[in-house]
Structure 1
Amino acid sequence: MVKCPYRAKLKPPVLLADTYFVSKAFFNFATPSAIFTSSKFPKPRIIWFKNNPLLMVCNSNLLCAELGEKLVETFPIKDLFDLEFTGRIEKTLADIEKRKYRKDDFLKVIFNFTVDSVLKIKADQEVTIHEVETAKKSVEVLGKCPLCGHAVIEGQKGYGCSNWKNGCKFVIWKNDKFLASMKKKPTKTMVKSLLKNGVAQVKGLTSKNGNKFDANLRYVKNPDNEYFSWKMEFS
């Protein structure tokens, strides 16, 4: 099996359009060679599977990448990689077009081949050709929610109660307008201090005049609703 010398330089496609064009190419062309020579196929001419190259064009040659090699070596249905077998199929299709062969007979052959192949794959020994790590990202608990006692965690837009699906409204938004007016954003350290001690010492706040100052901030629940407001204290 010929190996591409540029394999180490290959990078996965960034645009989802690459995947779209590849899938469209497979459903519009009869053979892989037609796919790679078509102008519809994106450059560089590489077929990817989960950010790993399968096939590529290297110096005008159609080559198999490492993952593709493993697939060919371990796939139990060897007829699919046999040029004589695929050649007979192409000839039969041409004969059907010329009405020299019945379409129904061809479909029966393909159906039986597919059934036999599936049974063979099921009975074949399991082989892992590409293992993907799926490590779960641990969620850091910043403290207890002052409203319901559930864990407060960091989200995409704020630090909020993990019980929000059941209606808990506690959250400190990352784009909080009060803090933004003093050119500050909430941090995990600040949130932890607020939840544990009820107060957070914040340095480097900026006044409307541009002066820097430090202050103690509290995040206090409003007496008439479940929302919170900031309170500022000076030492």
Structure 2
Amino acid sequence: TLAILVHREREIQNFRPTPYFEVFARFRYGDLTYVGKWRGGEDDRLFDKDEAEKIVAGVLGKRGKVEEFSEHKTQEAHPLLYDLTELQRDANKLFGYSAQRTLDIAQRLYEHYKLITYPRTDSRYLSEDLLGQVEKNVAMLARCGFAEFVRNLSLREALKDRRVFDRSKVTDHHAIIPTGEEIRWEVLKEGERKVLDLIVRRFLAVFHPPAVWVHRTIRTRVEREIFLSKAKVLAEPGWRVLYPREEEEFLPVVPRGEEVDVVEAWSEEKETKAPPRYTEAALLAAMEGAGRFVEDEELREILKESGIGTPATRAAIIERLIEVGYVEREGKTLIPTPKGMELVSLVESIPIPELASPQLTGEWEKKLNLIQKGQFTRELFMEGIKSLTREIVAKVKAQNLEDVREAKSRMVASRYPLGPCPLCGAPVYESKVAFSCSRWKEGCPFTVWKTISGKKISRQQVQKLLASGRTDRLSGFRSRKGKRFSAVLVLSEDGKVEFAFPHAPSKVRAEREDGEDKGD
């Protein structure tokens, strides 16, 4: 789990944003207007500002023609009932609750209030013999504030819905649903009301018909340029009647062949975005679907069914990572600390990748499944774990301690910026041979080589150089004639690194051997 967070953080730190432009136009058809986005081939992004402005100038004030107008309907089926992981994800997205807080609330609703069924379940289905319980629950909810949502429900018809009733997908416990006990909302605390409301609404939603959306698309040509306009409108709410209505975009009906006026055109500058940090909701989903991080197809399928941890333990895993200082919670997001980053880097450098990959979990789950089928033994399984433990210990013992420290230091250092680039302000990072601006792909030339005139330059001195424009006085440089000299590295106005020889003529300083190197 920690490795999942660390790998994402590395992606974010190594990401270099690229600016791009999008072009839009507003069209008028009679008394109505609509907005279209420029499309060029398969992409709608331009990386040249002049090209974007040229398109804007080329269409502004012109007349366009609608080449295509389409409208079609789609049905959106109800979501599945809650298992614990899905409940935790929704509570995190909607209320910012941690997985542990949601579990604690659900446990109180189950044990103390008797209002919901067993919460630590990994099933999202009901068995058919629960129909009587379902009917009792619905009758109770009609008396507890949900009467408008239970009218005309055909519960017996719902028995045919395999997305609700499917005994084959019920394990030890079925999905989380209300118990049928009368709900006294006034005695519940705020968090308890919110989580229970989620469960009740999801329970009722599965007995409602699909939501029906109307999708409209307009393809408008202006000169040689194509603009696309898309919108969807909720035509029949179905199960969505239980939830707040989403904001909808209006798009008028404009028949094919009709002419429209371009009343406005503009470009917007944007940047490519780094992948987002994990929220608890996203991390829970990643833990549940850990198979996608594994290349082996068989293990991927096994992990698809189990993932990392169980619904009952995933919250505890996250809380434990925070407790020991490997992860920090910042709002809704989870961020690995330098300590957590170092741990994963160290594990990778030894190398013992098994400890930082879900593949090991998949292999264990595979063998446990075989034990359940009588095709493998507990003794062989435990012997395999002992053997793996011995192998890992042997790898650790075989490592040169200094090599491990150096590898750890190098990997950790390379992922943290040293300071702002003096030319463009972007972060400066360490690479294998230099300290360079992170916008080098965009053309920023700023670089400090790790070795200058035979002298290795440390991270600490580069940090000083970026912060103050100069390093300490450093010894160990060698001239082209092989003579040792000491100097201060300074930044010129154009961002180049130069020698400075304060308090002494340069010729004297170049011939002088300094006893101490403050850069080491």
TM-score range, shorter chain: 0.3 to 0.5
When normalised by structure 2's length, the TM-score is: 0.19
Calculate the TM-score normalised by the size of structure 1.
0.38
